[in-house]
Chains A and B, each alone.
Chain A
Amino acid sequence: MEETNIVSYRVNHLRQLESEAIYILRETAAQFEKPALLFSGGKDSIVMAHLARKAFHPARIPFPLVHVDTGHNFQETIQYRDDYAADLKAELIVGLVQDSIDKGTAVEEKGVNASRNALQTVTLLETLEEHQFDAALGGGRRDEEKARAKERFFSHRDDFGQWDPKNQRPELWNIFNGRKHHGEHFRVFPLSNWTEMDVWQYIKSENIPLPNLYFAHDREVVHRNGGLLATSEFVQPQEGEKVETLHVRFRTIGDMTCTGAVESDASDMDAIIQEVASARETERGTRADDKRSETAMEDRKKEGYF
């Protein structure tokens, strides 16, 4: 009898990660007065919303969803975002980068590689401040990028929204210190210990529906800066660039101006997991925003990026 019990107490890696993330989500609800969940319609934030739903079941999730919209998002993402929020019966707050530009707090970049990616930080901070959110739950993972590897679950931000990587609170066991002074806030990352593979495995094992962009489909693209960009009203072919229709999918979903597509035949979950397992490039390898310098992510994070 005891023998079989010991065997049945095994908890596989996905259940351990799920259990940890749910613990963090509940700590966030308990320790902060007004948390919010950053929701972009990308797979990581979809997993976050799914975990939040589980954490507080059968009650509704006790915080709103916040999306920082560059205005350059894929239509499929926006549709998915709205449907999912409605399904969760959650409040959805959208911060528009265009509003920050109109107010003059953010300035549009110029040129072929112009992107509103960096401008999101301004709008994010403005949205958090406007609604007095004291904790923002994000889907960031430590495996994504080298600066993120040093990130805490509960990441303290000063009253300017800045991150100080050299002066972070130590985190031991599962004790999280969310104490703060007035005006300061926290970013909270429940998926810190997940890898891209874990996220896909979890989506499969939980049967979570995703936007179609993640699955292979025909799309018009141009080759630019070593990657593929989908053409749209925001990405027009430049001189010498040829528009081609290729069978592609997206490994991450962000702003259309800097999220590259990859050629792929992966049209279902198993095929995607196989592709991830044999991938030779990290998923952020398709993100032009990370390639601006060796410490591009660290620099943006210090300013208050996601």
Chain B
Amino acid sequence: MTEEETFSSEGYLDMDLLRFTTAGSVDDGKSTLIGRLLYDSKNTFDDQLAAVEESSKNRGDENVNLALLTDGLRAEREQGITIDVAYRYFATPKRKFIIADTPGHIQYTRNMVTGASTANLAIILVDARHGVIEQTMRHAFIANLLRIRHVVLAVNKMDLVDYEQAAFDKIVTQFKEFASRLDNIVDMTPIPLSALKGDNVVDKSTEMPWYEGPSLLYHLENVYIGTDQNHVEARFPVQWVIRPHSDEHHDFRGYAGRVAGGVFKPGDEVTIEPSGFKSKIKSIEGFDGPQEQTFAPLSSTITLEDDVDLSRGDMIVKSNNPPKKDQEIEAMICWFSEGKQLQPRGKYYLRHTTKEVKAIVQEVRYKVNINTLHKIEDDKSFGLNEIGRVSIRTSSPLLYDSYRRNRTTGSFVLIDQQTNETVAAGMIV
């Protein structure tokens, strides 16, 4: 930023937030793309660059290897691969961005699922020379499974196909044909680019006059994500009960939690689940005084008109629009454990919103071959990185919505009772 530019900290206090994930295979140039985004949008620092230049030299790289900006752990730098999800941050005057940078190889499916679980948008990279390959389909499948509404098909290395429109068009057609079956993806934007040369990453390329769309950064800054939250079905999982026991707030009893869906206002008729008690919202408490309303994804404190029995794991919902309540659920799960396979009729802890129950996986309905997307029905073993549909029975009823309707009340994890490891992620059908 130059001195002449007027600086307004007010603008910085009021930016949008976009979370996105990136997926590509080892040589698609994903780390280079992220490095380029950070570098060209002036979000890298001199000491980081100096460190990367030094490392590049030590490794014998010809150019400064922007990919090194994103690899953090010793093993990753040594092997030149990304092992774990790495979170990166950058901002432009319009938006703050959180990148979940996930390794694309099949052996890291669980990391991609993890990164995708909190993302609004996915960038799926393909190499312009190779087009849509099995991995591309897998990445699109996972983005869709995790209900990412916005996908960017980033056709990288356009410089290696002479910036030809035909190469790009062919890939877009291939991808669309496949993606038309993925109905959670409502917005698919294909962008031709070269991360190495910087074409269409931050600035529009002069090499591809045939391309009339935005650069990647422009798209990330402007894509409309306002409708991604469910503002209809009101859900408030109780996290913690606030009881000050002080003279000033002697009888205060506030229910603390983060709104998982919908809007709550004082006077709203609500039902406490699972007890079924009815009450009315007395106030929405804020640090600076009472609030007029609260909505997803805000953390709030609610007080009720009646003295009802309510604790962590219960849910406050609007009476006219309750969630489902059941001990039997159907879900898509992704298996995360390296050490242990899913045990037939195995018992796990199941964590869902702020509630933990015991659960039995009753049956594996089918698995998905995540490269061909065919169903596998004759092999019920379930190991690391496998995705499939199961039926689950819980020790007490869950209050849930389908994952398609609500990512918070529709998701859960399974925890191994011996090791306490998180062994699976689940999305309720």
- Mark contacts of B223-241 with chain A using CB atoms, 8 A cut-off: 1 yes-contact digit, 0 otherwise: 0001101010000000110
- Mark contacts of B80-98 with chain A using CB atoms, 8 A cut-off: 1 yes-contact digit, 0 otherwise: 0001111111010001101
Q: Are B12's CB and A23's CB within 8 A?
A: no
Contacts A58-B244, A277-B7; is A150 near B312 (CB within 8 Å)? no
User: Which of B's residues lie within 8 Å of A, judged by CB?
Assistant: 1, 7, 9, 12-17, 45-48, 51, 55, 71-75, 77, 83-89, 91, 95-96, 98, 110-111, 113-114, 117-118, 226-227, 229, 231, 239-240, 242-246, 248-249, 252, 254, 256-258, 263, 285, 287, 295, 297-299, 301, 312, 336, 349, 351-354, 407-408, 411-413, 415, 420-422, 425
Chain A, 170-208, CB within 8 A of any chain B CB: 170-175, 177, 179-181, 192-193, 195, 197-198, 201, 204-205
A112: min CB distance to chain B, Å: 22
B293: min CB distance to chain A, Å: 8
Q: List A contacts of B245 (CB < 8 A).
A: 59
Q: List B contacts of A148 (CB < 8 A).
A: 72
Q: Are B242's CB and A58's CB within 8 A?
A: yes
A12 at interface by CB-CB < 8 Å: yes
11 residue pairs A–B, Cβ–Cβ below 8 Å:
A6-B227, A9-B229, A14-B13, A30-B312, A147-B73, A150-B86, A175-B412, A177-B415, A192-B87, A193-B87, A197-B91
User: Among B14, B285, B413, which residue has its beta carbon within 8 angstroms of that of A172?
Assistant: B413
Q: Which of A15, A149, A270 has the most CB of B within 10 A?
A: A149
B378: min CB distance to chain A, Å: 29
- Nearest A-chain residue to B84, judged by Cβ: A150
Q: Are B336's CB and A170's CB within 8 A?
A: yes
A13 at interface by CB-CB < 8 Å: yes
Q: Which of A59, A148, A181, A198 has the most CB of B within 10 A?
A: A59
The bracket for how many chain A residues form the interface is 35 or more
Q: Are B46's CB and A280's CB within 8 A?
A: yes
A219 at interface by CB-CB < 8 Å: no
Q: How many A-B residue pairs have CB under 8 A?
A: 196
A281 at interface by CB-CB < 8 Å: yes
Q: List A contacts of B7 (CB < 8 A).
A: 274, 277
Q: Are B256's CB and A146's CB within 8 A?
A: no
Contacts A165-B73, A170-B425, A295-B74; is A57 near B17 (CB within 8 Å)? no
Contacts A177-B413, A282-B47, A295-B74; is A169 near B91 (CB within 8 Å)? no
A1 at interface by CB-CB < 8 Å: no
Q: List B contacts of A168 (CB < 8 A).
A: 84
The 10 closest A-B pairs by CB, nearest first: A146-B72, A59-B244, A179-B420, A172-B117, A13-B17, A22-B299, A285-B47, A13-B96, A19-B299, A280-B46
Q: Are A12's CB and B421's CB within 8 A?
A: no
Q: Are A149's CB and B91's CB within 8 A?
A: no
> With the chains together, A166 CA to B249 CA distance in Å?
47
> With the chains together, A197 CA to B118 CA distance in Å?
22
Q: List A contacts of B413 (CB < 8 A).
A: 172, 175, 177
Contacts A13-B96, A147-B73, A179-B349; is A59 near B299 (CB within 8 Å)? no
Q: Are B258's CB and A174's CB within 8 A?
A: yes
Q: Are B420's CB and A181's CB within 8 A?
A: yes
Given A20-B299, A195-B96, 15 new contacts (CB under 8 A): A9-B263, A9-B295, A23-B299, A58-B252, A58-B254, A149-B87, A150-B72, A169-B421, A173-B117, A173-B118, A177-B415, A192-B87, A197-B12, A198-B96, A281-B45
Q: Are B422's CB and A177's CB within 8 A?
A: yes
A255 at interface by CB-CB < 8 Å: no
Q: Are A165's CB and B84's CB within 8 A?
A: yes
- Nearest B-chain residue to A205, judged by Cβ: B13
Q: Are B226's CB and A19's CB within 8 A?
A: no
Chain A, 239-283, CB within 8 A of any chain B CB: 269-270, 273-274, 277-282
> With the chains together, A205 CA to B10 CA distance in Å?
9
> With the chains together, A148 CA to B88 CA distance in Å?
11
User: Among A26, A172, A204, which residue has its beta carbon within 8 angstroms of that of B114?
Assistant: A172
- Mark contacts of A147-163 with chain B using CB atoms, 8 A cut-off: 1 yes-contact digit, 0 otherwise: 11110000000000000
> With the chains together, A239 CA to B85 CA distance in Å?
47
Binds B, one of A48-56, A70-78, A113-121, A127-135: A48-56
Q: Are B249's CB and A59's CB within 8 A?
A: yes
User: Among B231, B244, B285, which residue has its beta carbon within 8 angstroms of that of A60?
Assistant: B244
Q: Are B14's CB and A12's CB within 8 A?
A: yes
Q: List B contacts of A27 (CB < 8 A).
A: 239, 354
> With the chains together, A193 CA to B119 CA distance in Å?
13
User: Among A16, A57, A149, A278, which residue has its beta carbon within 8 angstroms of that of B297?
Assistant: A16
Q: List A contacts of B301 (CB < 8 A).
A: 57
Q: Are B83's CB and A166's CB within 8 A?
A: yes
A142 at interface by CB-CB < 8 Å: yes
Q: Are B89's CB and A142's CB within 8 A?
A: yes
> With the chains together, A147 CA to B87 CA distance in Å?
11
Contacts A19-B258, A22-B299, A179-B415; is A172 near B113 (CB within 8 Å)? yes
- Nearest A-chain residue to B426, judged by Cβ: A172
A93 at interface by CB-CB < 8 Å: no
Q: Are A279's CB and B16's CB within 8 A?
A: no
A107 at interface by CB-CB < 8 Å: no
A151: min CB distance to chain B, Å: 9
Q: List A contacts of B118 (CB < 8 A).
A: 172-174
> With the chains together, A204 CA to B124 CA distance in Å?
37
> With the chains together, A231 CA to B302 CA distance in Å?
51
Q: Are A174's CB and B15's CB within 8 A?
A: no
Contacts A12-B15, A173-B117, A277-B7; is A30 near B295 (CB within 8 Å)? no
Q: List A contacts of B73 (CB < 8 A).
A: 147, 150, 165-166, 295, 298
Q: List B contacts of A11 (CB < 8 A).
A: 17, 297-298
- Nearest B-chain residue to A29, judged by Cβ: B240
Q: List B contacts of A102 (CB < 8 A).
A: none
> With the chains together, A192 CA to B412 CA distance in Å?
22
Q: List B contacts of A9 (CB < 8 A).
A: 226, 229, 231, 263, 295
